[in-house]
Structure 1
Amino acid sequence: MLTAITVENFRCIEHASLDFDSRSTGILGDNASGKTSLLEAIYFLGHGRSFRSAQAEKLKREGASFFRVVGRIATHRGLLTAGLEHTQGRTQGQLAGQGISGIADIAEVLPLQIIDPGVHRLVEEGSARRRRLMDWGVFHVKREFLGYWRRYQRALSQRNAALRSAHGEELIQAWEQDFCAAGAEVDRLRAHYVEELKPHFESLAARLVGPGTTLTYRRGWPAEVELREALHDSISRDLRLKTTHVGPHRADLGFLIDGTPARDRVSRGQQKMLAAAFILSQLQCHTALGAVPTTLMLDDPAAELDVDNLGKLLLAIAEIPSQLIVTSVHERGLKGIEIGRRFHVKQGNFEPMV
């Protein structure tokens, strides 16, 4: 759980320090005042990247040479301080006063997610976003996943490099064993996680979207063959196009309504509700499996939702045992949430509200 945050030179925020309520904190302010920038800074601390930009350099306040985000996190080991600083094109971090080997060190003790006005892209866009969110969930409930995932990514990178090489066929074979062994474990852990997740998702989706909503997992190669066989069958295409076309890096999740892809059946608002159901089901599943408690950020939950859908969403959120950080333009946007602490933001400056 995130108990406090300090942000420097991030987007429009020159400096901000906030203490959060253990259950729910509301952030009120006009559009472009800094509400979403605060959530983006928190997200960066927990994920090592932004949910709005792929380039960390773009997150620096205009004219600044660095940005820094430092959080105080309540864990079973007590309070820990975690921080990330981006300067001269590099991001470096610390946890409990020690350098980190990667963002996974912080992510492990600070599991957090966001539901923002662009969450519908989870349904609407390609597989990368869904695969990343699925892997976030697997990482937090299957401790061995990260090692296999890193091993697979290394083998995939080396195989693709060999495919681009003029004399790479021997190298391709050299990486095949590691590719298949690690890939099979990544797939096994994902498939197991999705099976654990499905009842939570389908129950929430029935409430938020409607009956007949289901979740499917596609592993990235034909179900009837082993990964090694699929790799051999694809080698001519891989050599021609110089990239690997089968494997866990091609996996995807499918959202179906009565057996039909949801993107073909629902409106933008319903896509948002469906994506929210998936994220909330992950938090619910984590709790059921005894994982570290999560922090959920809601960026203007009233955006693009009618009163009925907003009410259903907030009721479902109230039942999820996560810490909440919620932004809104108006107080009415927080209606239905028991807010323990409020802040008002104007031009990147945050002030507590009595």
Structure 2
Amino acid sequence: MEALVIDTEAWYEDANTNLRSLKRDVGQCITESASYEKTMWERIETELKEINVESLGFDHPICSGVLDIKSEPFTNMPGSVSDIFKEPFRRYKLEQNHDVMEACKEFIRNEESKINMDDDLGNINYGEWLDKTEELHDLTKRMLESMLKIWKSPKYEAYIKKEKSINEGSYVCEVLAPLINIVMSDLPGKPTAWDIWGEEGSSASATRKGSRKIARRADYMMVAQLGKKAELEIVYLETGRPNSSQDKRVRDHKKLIRFSKDSIDTTRNIKNLKKIFNQSSKRQNLTIFTINIAGDVIELYAMRKESGIYKYCLIEEATIPLHMTSPSAVYPLIHTLLTLRTVVACTIHKILYNPDSGDSDHSSSEMVVTVSTPKNS
């Protein structure tokens, strides 16, 4: 049977055609089967006779000629009949593996023991490595293993040697997301923070624009929990293809500046954040970090507001090697990513735990409005 693709404007006719075809095929199965399997097909045939496609809705599997174990007609059948339908699929199942179970137990035991460890970073300063040696080794190894998959990939070999195109989705999913997920997980000090990969608009942008519906989306954000209902977007990332145009890189650069400024401004106009940053010791450490993947180059920037002036500056940059290379060529990428990890962890820790100075007078400067147009705001 070749099921029709459903046209939502005339779906009743198409769905009924599919149902009639399905009934014919079920009838053929009854003829060709025996014993319990024959009983199953007969029961399916009986149930299909009672089906009214209009009551199911166009997106029901039966309307497209599909028998789905989670839908009618199986929902009205005893489990013993459904089990016969499942039988051909049992070949794909694996028996429980003792080694995998032991690995799970060992992992959970190790992680549970870490929960009870003291994660207090104490009095830390910028410019200091926060991860212990063994953790740095592990992070570096995992990032290199992730890059090795790219170096061995025929797709990226074709990109390097034959200039075959790599789209943005592949670049993000295969190269960037694995690296960011590795380096931004389990930050030193174990702050409450989470990643958002392009699935929702920036809250900071929504605050400025007055609506989530028109808020801009970053390709990636990290949000830090600073208190009850006090969330700060502390990292933004924008990317394109490995061979993005200069124009695209410049647009992303400007977009990241807007995100950063919007995030800083939320500490002035969102009540729960304003309460936190009303202390000068907190304001002094308020920094938003951005990553601009400008083609095959990663640029790490930071924005601060000092003396009423928003300052945006490059911290590190490195080439993203998409082919096997020397340690000295790949080190800058690893260093830049670990710098991002460290400065974000340090910033969150200082905001959360630096002692209040007693100065509760927020910056006296006026908040500068972000200039925007309907098209590119």
TM-score range, shorter chain: under 0.3
Greater Rg by CA? 2
TM-score for both structures, normalised by structure 2: 0.22
Structure number with greater CO (CA < 8 Å, separation at least 6) is 1
